[in-house]
Amino acid sequence: MNFDLSEIQKQVQETFRDFADRRIKPVAAKLDEEKKFPMELFKEAGELGFFGMRYPESVGGTGLDVVSYSLAVIEIARGSLSVAAAVTMQSLMGTYFLYRFGDDEIKKNYFAEALKGNKIGGICMTEPNAGSDLMAVKTLANVTDDGFILNGQKTWITSAPVADFFTVLARTDNHEQLSIFFVPVNLKGVLIGKSIEKMGVRASVTSEVSFNNVKLPKNYLLGEIGGGTKCLKEILAEIRIMTAALAIGVATAAYDDAVKYAKERSQFGKPIGKFQAIQMKFADMAVQLETAKHYVLYAATLSDQNKPRQKEAMIAKLYASEISNNICDEASRVLASYGYAVEYNMERYLRDARFTLIGGGTSEILKINIAKELGL
């Protein structure tokens, strides 16, 4: 398998590397401190074509591959995991089902505008008692003569406080499998609940959402009744590859900052990077980071080639998220007391990296599913 990047992939990487260095990094700490949705950067990501990368040109996208997308995600996450979390939600989970199943009205008024960054979308899956166990979802869409009546409560909804629309996973009358519904936020009965204060990725705003007798027309069912579970699995591998790329981005930021510090900080008459104990830390971090990068691009390449990649995507996400947290921890140790100081970015990386352990499946769930893929 050829891992050389194409010229287009290199251009994508350079474009978003510049975006991260020039626009995101200078304001990342302030965004985290203010816990404010990065609206200006969000719209700039739209102008750069990020939201349309995985969609064909015929619908306003750029039709790029998963490798290109992963490279862009890594660079944005290197600038700020909060910004990366917000824009990746929009680019994949927040818009995918509108692209697949939305009618002309939905695609024109919402999907097309979302690709430009003019409207913000989110996906409502998690509930107070339904996280890893998605089949425990209790949100119900009762079938009526002219559509559906939606009732239920969702939690941990990314971008909910600023969203214009959601795609919602819900049960329908006596159906075992889940269905997916398009729900504009301005419909009567849609309530954005309390914001969730988080340890990290604090500029990626999150809150509860409830639906109280929300009337939905028939065309707001995305796909078939009971088809939601199957449709979600279509993009599950890509979600996990994306989450792995997020983890690599924040780990890269921590590693780079630690390298810079090790070259500048002197103790006992020489830079601390000259001491073997510190050098061994960096060797371990470099091995983990490079291994994660290569495996994520391998999983992305399998996806681009339409080859089986469920197991590989889970391995990529599991390994990248775990080593990301390890690298952020080790990098903070290099900075010692300064790694604990708010004035340095390192403590933010350490907080943010925890996010990658959750999204796309916890490490424990992934290990169980990988074992099943191995026939155990």
Q: Tell me 360's DSSP state.
A: T
Select from 156, 192, 194 the least CA-distant residue to 358. 156
Provide the token pair at 216.
Answer: 């939905």
- The domain limits of the chain are 7-116, 121-226, 229-373
Q: What would the 3-class secondary structure string for 210-249 be?
A: EEEEEEEEHHHEECCCCCHHHHHHHHHHHHHHHHHHHHHH
Share above pLDDT 90 across residues of the chain, in percent, rounded to a whole number: 95
Q: Tell me 6's DSSP state.
A: P
The pLDDT value given to residue 174: 74
Between CA 106 and CA 223 the distance in angstroms is 13
Give the other-Cβ count within 10 Å of 326's Cβ.
15
Q: Is residue 43 pLDDT above 80, yes or no? A: yes
SS3 137: coil
Tell me the average pLDDT across 330-334. Answer: 98
Between CA 228 and CA 350 the distance in angstroms is 35
The pLDDT value given to residue 15: 98
Instruction: Say which CATH superfamily domain 121-226 falls into.
Output: Butyryl-CoA Dehydrogenase, subunit A, domain 2 (2.40.110.10)
Binned at pLDDT 50, 70 and 90, residue 283 comes out as: very high
The pLDDT tens digits for 198-253 are 999 999 999 999 999 999 999 999 999 999 989 999 899 999 999 999 999 999 99
Tell me the average pLDDT across 305-317. Answer: 96
Tell me the average pLDDT across 173-178. Answer: 84
Q: Is residue 1 pLDDT above 90, yes or no? A: no
Give the gyration radius of the chain's Cα atoms.
21
pLDDT mean across residues, the chain: 96
Q: Is residue 135 pLDDT above 90, yes or no? A: no
Using a 10 angstrom Cβ sphere, with 0-12 exposed, 13-18 middle and 19 or more buried, the burial of residue 223 is: middle
The kind and range of the H/E element at 354 are none
The pLDDT value given to residue 147: 96
Which CATH architecture fits 7-116? Answer: Orthogonal Bundle (1.10)
CATH fold of 229-373 reads Butyryl-CoA Dehydrogenase, subunit A; domain 3 (1.20.140)
pTM metric for this prediction = 0.96
